[in-house]
Amino acid sequence: MLGPVILAASRSDRMRRLISAAPVTKRVVDRFIPGETVDEIVPIVRELTDRGLELTMDVVGEDITTPEQAEAARDAYLALIERLRTLELGTRAEMSVKLSMFGQALPGGHELALANVRPVVEAAAAIGTTVTLDAEDHTTLDSMFAIHEELRKDFPQTGCVIQAYLFRTEADARRLAGAGSRVRLVKGAYKEPAEVAYQQKHEIDKAYVRVLRILMEGEGYPMVGSHDPRLISVAQELARQAGRKPDEYEFQMLYGIRGDEHLRLAAEGHRMRVYTAYGTDWYGYFMRRLAEKPANLRFFLRSMISK
Ligand code: FDA
């Protein structure tokens, strides 16, 4: 029951101001967002890649209100990519982007987001890596998929995310499962109405398996974005049934969640990519992590009380 309440708070400016200003918040936030600047995140990139993990990098931020902020988001990614160039990691460090941060919700937002994300995709390609477009709330997805299709004309390796909780996703998966595609499947992290999305965990889990089967049986490259131990076993079994070798799909998990499992899967010979978020505008990302696991909220509240 707490999850939807926290997700509603994640869109509230008042809560944003309150929580962002709380003196102890930063300590708790660090678990999920281990840096605010490129300089702070580079040692984490080194540490994780040295341990055999791969990364997808997210500069946190969303729901911006001016075109200048969208340009600043673009520039933040370009600065990150410039630093990654010196580390020579290639596809071991790719980028994840939220189009809302590139201006998608502003007037003329579809064109603005495409214009801002394209240089990021170009810069990533120039250092031998790629970009995946995150999936946000369902009202943004037609625009996201159209931008994805447009970018793939020049950069076919550009990936996108689909969310198992949405009714539309099986059809999207069929459309996206062709040769050369890279698709991350996740359960879905936004508060969605019953008209468009499954609401019960068991329904979402069953949909996840159906969609994953489509991706595994397709010709693209599935990226299994989940920490759910049952779904990870199912993914291994579906990959086996589809005749896929370990390098023909990958697992992805979020920084700060089930870190031992990251290392276990990598040691078993799987490609394990850690979604590593950093930056100052962490509120929305942090609140979704609280909503996924109410125990996180208890930990957060305890840290405020015990200050
Ligand atoms: P589930 O929520 O059932 O969790 C399984 C287990 O994992 C839990 O029992 C717990 O042990 C652990 N766990 C999960 N979340 C936790 C948390 N916050 N804190 C502590 N433990 C936790 N969503 C979206 O809508 N658009 C997107 O673009 C993305 N991108 C994305 C990338 C990657 C790499 C991942 C892993 C996830 C996303 N998500 C996302 C988030 C996703 O939709 C979903 O909310 C979370 O992954 C949680 O779902 P699980 O599949 O992990 O299962």
Q: Where are the domains of the chain?
A: 33-281
Predicted TM-score (pTM) of the model is 0.95
In terms of DSSP H, where are the helices of 52-108?
A: 67-87
Determine if ligand 1 sits within 6 Å of the CB of residue 253: yes
22-66 pLDDT, tens digit each: 766 777 888 999 999 999 999 999 999 999 999 999 999 887 999
Round to the nearest angstrom and report the end-to-end CA distance of the chain: 27
* Segment among 61-75, 149-163, 202-216, 222-236 with least mean pLDDT: 61-75
Residue with the smallest CA separation from ligand 1 atom 47 is: 226
Determine if ligand 1 sits within 6 Å of the CB of residue 188: yes
Q: Is the pLDDT reported for residue 305 higher than 70?
A: no
Residue with the smallest CA separation from ligand 1 atom 12 is: 227
CATH number for 33-281 (one of 3.30.360.10, 3.40.50.1980, 3.60.15.10, 3.20.20.220): it is 3.20.20.220
Determine if ligand 1 sits within 6 Å of the CB of residue 289: yes
* Segment among 64-73, 152-161, 279-288 with least mean pLDDT: 279-288
Q: So which residues are the catalytic ones?
A: 134, 184
How far, in Å, is the centroid of ligand 1 from the Cα of 226?
A: 5
Sign of CA dihedral 239, 244, 246, 249: negative
CB atoms within 10 A of CB 84: 25
Determine if ligand 1 sits within 6 Å of the CB of residue 286: no
Q: Token digits for 259?
A: 């870190």
121-137 pLDDT, tens digit each: 999 999 999 999 999 99
pLDDT band with cut points at 50, 70 and 90 for residue 306? low
pLDDT band with cut points at 50, 70 and 90 for residue 1? low
* Ligand 1 atom closest to the CA of 273, numbered from 1: 34
> What's the confidence (pLDDT) of residue 92?
97
How far, in Å, is the centroid of ligand 1 from the Cα of 177?
A: 22
* Ligand 1 atom closest to the CA of 134, numbered from 1: 28
Q: Phi and psi for 125 in degrees, rounded to 5?
A: -60, -35
Q: Assign residue 172 a region: left if phi > 0, alpha if psi is -120 to 50, beta otherwise?
A: alpha
Determine if ligand 1 sits within 6 Å of the CB of residue 172: no
